[in-house]
Amino acid sequence: MYPTIGDTLSLTARTYPDRNAIVYPRRDQRWTYAEFDGKVNRLANALADLGIEKGDRVSTMLYNGSEIALTVYACARLGAVFNPLNYRLAAGDVTYILNDADSEVLIFEDDTAAVVDRARDDLDTVGEYLFIDDAIPDYARDFYGLVESANDTPPDVEVAENDVYAFIYTSGTTGRPKGVVHEHRAMIEHDLICLAESGLGRNDVGLSCLPLYHCAELHANLFPRVHVGATNVIHHEFDPSAVLNAIDEHDVTVMFAAPSAWNALAQFAPEVDADVSSLQLGLYGAAPMPRRVLDACMEQFCEEYLQAYGMTEIGPCGTFQHPDEQLEKQGSAGMPALNHDLRIVEPDGAPNQEIDSGETGEILFAGPCTMREYHNRPEATAESLRESEGRTWYYTGDLGYLDDDGYLFVVDRKDDMIVSGGENVYPTGVEDVLFGHDDVIEAAVVGEPHDEWGERVVAYVVGEVDAADLDAYCTESDDLADFKRPREYYMVEDLPKTPSGKVKKFELREESSPEAGQAG
């Protein structure tokens, strides 16, 4: 029988009671594993006193902090279902998710109070609001007051490995979020896979500076570190200067960030007087690391980087690209994670009808960390999870290919492929060329309706560069056929992204075009 998520913390606290578990500088908190374990019991009992039982949903709308770590483990220990919300959501999205999840408790803070207040009248099931800061709204309870007044004995609840641990709502790169239902056993398997692939140990110090409500930071970083007894430094939100100083102050050895965040750190590093020599391993995901960003990070931080590719529905890690593969297989997503099977088929094709190496098709995964279902979405579940050869295959909606050595290269989202004048254009290939321009910080390529071609290729670009310069650069490139060249460049200040750093291209396609420079 597998331990549950709550069990892993108890076992770690019993083994390493005096080791530092949580360091949260914003509140000057430093808890050992024994202290963390006791506070988790207190919160679990406080929730039980409010009437929360096994299977009930507990939601958070929190920036990073010790509170979200307490809540996820307290829910696991109580058998409640953890439901973290993106703190950037608008009131309408908050209402949709909380009502869809049938949430009974919402834990929030000063920075999210205005949105919660706007959503509150339309929430159907939330009966208790817990507030973590001082100026407590009149409809909310004091989070810390409840924790301190509760007892620290483990709640008398039997939680099994196949019980639901969480509803993690997808970040919506293609539309309305769906609630991914994960079980305890899947997350324990995911912990073990991440530990095996990363080599993380109890003497490591990890920094969580990307959102903990997202599965990349929570499942692939915090959970494995707690499982093995490492120290967890938590930052309220990502700030390049603060992150660099935190690496120095806390002797951080391992950290996860999206490539765009690593790029920001590399740009800020020369301006910040911080010793980052303690960093031994940089983790990243959401996209391949552009070569110039990888080179800059290797020069300024550490030499070893580990990429994980996947999605919420599979844990999220499905493949890993190891440090010794970063340069040789730059641009790839690596090879299947431990105990995972990966196949490339024609879009929507059967799992046993694999296509040849080098050919682009849909990426499928089968592994021990796959979701149970989408909450309240049986049609979406049936479309994404399909049985074959006694295994459950997840259809990712991503397009990719395997090279002759078996390494995965992700080409694009199936929904993002552009058909222009009868030719298939994969946006990532165009984006790779744009990234090669020294003045381009970020770029996203999408299809825009066109009367003659069906769609035309357009690019949204962040950087100190103009459209004429970019078009000349693309025209001269040996890596870009003319039919793939953007016909218009929209210069923008930033791109809409999910918490893991993926660009929400559906928003770019839907929004009205900003003022743009013209290409030929």
- Report if residue 245 sits inside a domain: no
Residue 511 pLDDT? 62
Spatial contact of 418 and 425, defined as CB atoms under 8 Å apart: yes
- Report if residue 250 sits inside a domain: no
Measured CA to CA in angstroms, residue 288 lies from 158, 174, 279 at distances of 42, 20, 20
Structure pTM? 0.86
Task: Please compute the mean of the pLDDT values over residues 328-357 and round it to a whole number.
Answer: 95
- Range in 240-249, 301-310, 392-401, 410-419 the model is least confident about: 410-419
**Structure token pair of residue 520:** 């030929």
Spatial contact of 161 and 185, defined as CB atoms under 8 Å apart: yes
In this structure, are 364 and 448 located in the same domain?
no
Task: Please compute the mean of the pLDDT values over residues 331-337 and round it to a whole number.
Answer: 96
pLDDT of 33-65, one tens digit each? 999 999 999 999 999 999 999 999 999 999 999
Question: Does residue 400 surpass a pLDDT of 70?
Answer: yes
What is the chain's Cα-based Rg?
Answer: 23
- Report if residue 225 sits inside a domain: no
Question: Could you tell me which of 196, 237, 189 has the C-alpha nearest to residue 217?
Answer: 237
Domains held by the chain: number: 3
In this structure, are 360 and 456 located in the same domain?
no
C-alpha atoms less than 13 angstroms from C-alpha of 381 in its C-beta half-sphere: 12
More confident residue, 503 or 342: 342
Q: What secondary structure letter does DSSP report for 25?
A: G
Indicate the residue among 365, 380, 403 that finishes a domain.
Answer: 403
- Report if residue 237 sits inside a domain: no
More confident residue, 448 or 144: 144
Indicate the residue among 183, 204, 229 that finishes a domain.
Answer: 183
Question: Does residue 512 surpass a pLDDT of 60?
Answer: no
More confident residue, 506 or 171: 506
Cα dihedral 143, 115, 312, 302 sign: negative
- Report if residue 247 sits inside a domain: no
- Report if residue 255 sits inside a domain: no
Indicate the residue among 377, 403, 429 that finishes a domain.
Answer: 403
In this structure, are 163 and 59 located in the same domain?
yes
Structural domain including 339 reads: 305-403
Longest dimension (CA), the chain: 70
In this structure, are 156 and 83 located in the same domain?
yes
Question: Could you tell me which of 110, 143, 111, 139 has the C-alpha nearest to residue 126?
Answer: 139
Residues in CB range of 364: below 8 A, 6 or more apart: 342, 343, 344, 345, 351, 393, 394, 395, 396
- Report if residue 189 sits inside a domain: no
In this structure, are 366 and 323 located in the same domain?
yes
Task: Please compute the mean of the pLDDT values over residues 20-43 and round it to a whole number.
Answer: 98
- Report if residue 72 sits inside a domain: yes
